[in-house]
Amino acid sequence: MKNPYAVGERVYLRQPTAEDVEGRWHEWLSDEETTRWLALHHWPNSVEAQREFFEASRRSRDRLVLAAVDRETDRHIGVCNLSAINWVHRFCDVAVVIGEPEYRTGPYVLEAMSLLLRIAFMRLNLRIVKSSFAADNDASKAIHEIFGFKEVGRIEQLFWDRGRYVDNVIAALSRPQWMARNDLSAGAEQHA
């Protein structure tokens, strides 16, 4: 592992590097399937644009971008994001993208999300993690349900998807909800 920030059984998260930028990261965000349900990234991405994002995010304190890396091969397989971090009200948005197709089977995305939630609530002391996704995105719906997110709102027909508009679901998970689900008491240091 190189410079691990959070470590799971199969995946670890670390700060992205210039090598990641020169790799396949920018291609994931041009791929039609990968970007199908993303609110942004419908324009072709480029290594130059990825470089700009990398430089901007490296200096940012309202966005935490982490590379998801396969522990076994040390291969960069995806990107995790805590964005729009509000340090007054202590909330943020969350996103996980597994870019390499062969890692989309099995538990990689679940482990990356698990690590990211722990970072948000236990390391950054955030109170609420928000998210939004297209109502027809079954994978996003399932992962939010698994980790205990509650639907708190819905914007009807916000997203354009292959010939029709679909609803946008707004979901949230609070730290007390996350701690209760993981059998943690306030101030607990143990790992969930």
Partner 1 sequence: MALDAAAPGLPDQVRGIVAAIMGVGPAEVAEDASPETLAAWDSLRHMKLILAVEEAFGLRLTDSEIVSITDLQSLVTLVRRKRGGGA
Residues of the shown chain interacting with partner 1 in the complex, contacts defined by CB under 8 A:
8-9, 98, 104-111, 114, 117-118, 138-139, 142-143, 145-147, 181-183, 191-192
* Residue 44, SS3 per DSSP: coil
Q: What is the dihedral of CA 96, 97, 101, 107, to 10 degrees?
A: 0
Give the span between the Cα atoms of 188 and 192, in whole angstroms: 10
Residue 80: other Cβ atoms inside 10 A = 25
CB of 186 to partner 1, least distance (A): 16
CB of 142 to partner 1, least distance (A): 4
Give the span between the Cα atoms of 32 and 44, in whole angstroms: 10
Give the span between the Cα atoms of 21 and 24, in whole angstroms: 7
Judged by beta carbon, residue 17 or residue 177, the one nearer partner 1 is: 177
The pair of structure tokens assigned to 160 is 């354009």
Judged by beta carbon, residue 22 or residue 138, the one nearer partner 1 is: 138
CB of 148 to partner 1, least distance (A): 9
The pair of structure tokens assigned to 55 is 């430089």
Judged by beta carbon, residue 29 or residue 115, the one nearer partner 1 is: 115
CB of 11 to partner 1, least distance (A): 9
Judged by beta carbon, residue 51 or residue 75, the one nearer partner 1 is: 75
Judged by beta carbon, residue 56 or residue 142, the one nearer partner 1 is: 142
CB of 24 to partner 1, least distance (A): 19
The pair of structure tokens assigned to 99 is 């870019």
* Residue 10, SS3 per DSSP: coil
The pair of structure tokens assigned to 182 is 């993981």
